[in-house]
A and B are shown apart, each in its own frame.
Chain A
Amino acid sequence: EIVLTQSPGTLSLSPGERATLSCRASQSVSSSDLTWYQQKPGQAPRLLIYGASNRATGIPDRFSGSGSGTDFTLTINRLEPEDFAVYYCQQYGSPPLTFGGGTKVEI
């Protein structure tokens, strides 16, 4: 099973700042198999980024993803109030599908 380790656990920032979230895999993951989700309290996760760097429909361009192999990054430029949430990475390159533990972006 591929373990995804997300860091930091919590990121304390202010609106307008940049957030940089890390997702590290215990084995190499194809970029096409790395996905990011956003989850707000009381809501289901929402698809943000697929294929490591492709924004899902309706996702603002302040969200960007990058990385390859075992190291992937989600960057949020110019944080908006609605961006404060928990972010999860997920892989399905090697079954079983696994999620990272999440990074909370808080004010």
Chain B
Amino acid sequence: QVQLQESGPGLVKPSETLSLTCTVSGVSISDNISWNWIRQPPGKGLEWIGYIFHSGSFRYYPPLKSRVTMSVDTSKSQFTLNLRSVTAADTAVYYCARWRDTINAFEVWGQGTMVTVSS
């Protein structure tokens, strides 16, 4: 059974870097599928942030790409999100998710982690 679990600080100060980790279990992170981050501001809809493959290839959402970096650690079966220079607008629940390209859908999601940007 594939499971994803997000972890990281729940509070980040403005202008600092938000760093989250997603730990993957039940499947190899080295499978040729994309590992994604998606966020949801309180009371609002979903916003895709980007994806990364185990090979390191990636694609980020254009409005965010100047501030986003993703990476993969296959030895730990984890992938990470770094979002720089955060503001209150980055306050959201952050989800990691596994994309299944045979159906063009996010098949498995983590439970999500709430990150608040505040001083």
Contact = CB atoms under 8 A, between A and B. Distances in A.
Nearest to A36: B105
B109 A44 contact: yes
A95 B59 CA distance: 9
Bin chain A's interface residue count: 20 to 34
B1 interface: no
Contacts of A46: 109
B45 interface: yes
A72 to B, nearest CB: 13
Interface residues of B, number: 17
B111 interface: yes
Nearest to A98: B48
Given A95-B59, A96-B61, A96-B62, A47 B45 contact: no
A33 interface: yes
Interface of A: 1, 32-33, 35, 37, 43-47, 50-51, 54, 56, 88, 90, 92, 95-102
